[in-house]
């Protein structure tokens, strides 16, 4: 089935990456629904940003508004109960003995995509879109391309129907993610991302940087800031 006739379900947190993925999906598919998860995060800032981002996308891009379908939020608080980490508890962000940062929520993407596939099956969607990336990332094993390809096979077999998992950011740097946003929606989309999305692990919305709001110190802010600077340098050079 051609992409223009398919329905996609975007895993949409309200952050930069998932917003770019939502724009990417709206550019390609006939209908796009969004899915967020409440899993006991240490703050709810991203969840609060989700509806604003959807509204702003529809307002600034009327060609996408007609394609933007229903929004869903699933309660996965059980995940927070069994995942003691810096994203579900108020603790300092640091590396663990295994080399992974303690922001890693074990099994998060595996569960997210399993529940997303279940919802997609009921909603008649055959494509899942996620912002996972193994280029500029924190080393999370459930963001790797091999993990997600294996999961796509398992989901398709388990549901007895083809389920496509699209990860448009998988091999992009953060600078290239800003560039993709500009390619999809120009300066309007990049401005929307900077103003309305949220990435900061600490939930800081008091300080506005050129790349958006955040503490400026946590790994998520550092990646976002460095990517924005790289994109600006690349753009100004006319490359």
pLDDT greater than 90 at residue 94:
no
Report if residue 32 sits inside a domain: yes
Mean pLDDT along residues 163-192: 97
Report if residue 198 sits inside a domain: no
Report if residue 25 sits inside a domain: yes
Structural domain boundaries, residue 27: 3-173
Predicted TM-score of the model (pTM): 0.88
* Total number of domains constituting the chain: 1
Report if residue 199 sits inside a domain: no
- Pairwise pLDDT comparison (41 vs 113), residue with the higher score: 113
Report if residue 124 sits inside a domain: yes
Report if residue 227 sits inside a domain: no
pLDDT of residue 96: 55
Contact assessment for residue 13 and residue 133, using Cβ atoms and an 8 Å cutoff? no
Residue 164: which CATH number? 3.40.50.620
Report if residue 229 sits inside a domain: no
Token pair of 25 as six digits? 């999906």
Percent of the chain with pLDDT over 90: 66
User: CA of 160: how far to CAs of 49, 140, 154, 204, in Å?
Assistant: 35, 29, 10, 43
pLDDT greater than 80 at residue 84:
no
Phi, psi of 230 (to 5 degrees): -65, -40
Token pair of 49 as six digits? 């940003």
Mean pLDDT along residues 104-112: 77
DSSP 8-state code for residue 134: S
- Pairwise pLDDT comparison (239 vs 222), residue with the higher score: 222
């Amino acid at each position: 089935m051609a992409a223009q006739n398919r329905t996609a379900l975007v895993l949409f947190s309200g952050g930069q990456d998932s917003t770019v993925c939502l724009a990417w999906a709206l550019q390609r598919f006939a209908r796009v629904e969004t899915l967020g998860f409440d899993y006991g995060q240490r703050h709810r800032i991203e969840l609060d940003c989700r509806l604003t981002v959807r509204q702003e996308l529809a307002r600034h891009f009327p060609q996408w508004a007609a394609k933007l379908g229903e929004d869903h939020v699933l309660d996965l608080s059980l995940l927070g109960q069994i995942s003691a980490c810096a994203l579900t508890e108020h603790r300092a962000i640091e590396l663990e003995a295994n080399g992974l940062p303690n922001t890693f929520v074990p099994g998060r993407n595996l569960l997210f995509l399993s529940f997303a596939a279940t919802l997609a099956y009921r909603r008649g969607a055959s494509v899942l879109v996620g912002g996972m990336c193994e280029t500029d990332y924190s080393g999370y094993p459930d963001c790797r391309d091999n993990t997600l390809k294996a999961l796509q096979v398992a989901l398709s077999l388990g549901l007895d129907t083809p389920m496509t998992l699209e990860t448009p950011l998988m091999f992009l740097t953060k600078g290239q993610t800003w560039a993709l946003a500009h390619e999809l929606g120009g300066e309007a989309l990049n401005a929307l991302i900077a103003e309305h999305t949220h990435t900061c692990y600490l939930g800081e919305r008091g300080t506005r940087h050129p790349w958006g709001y955040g503490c400026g110190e946590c790994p998520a802010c550092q990646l976002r800031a460095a990517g924005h600077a790289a994109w600006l340098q690349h753009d100004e050079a006319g490359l």
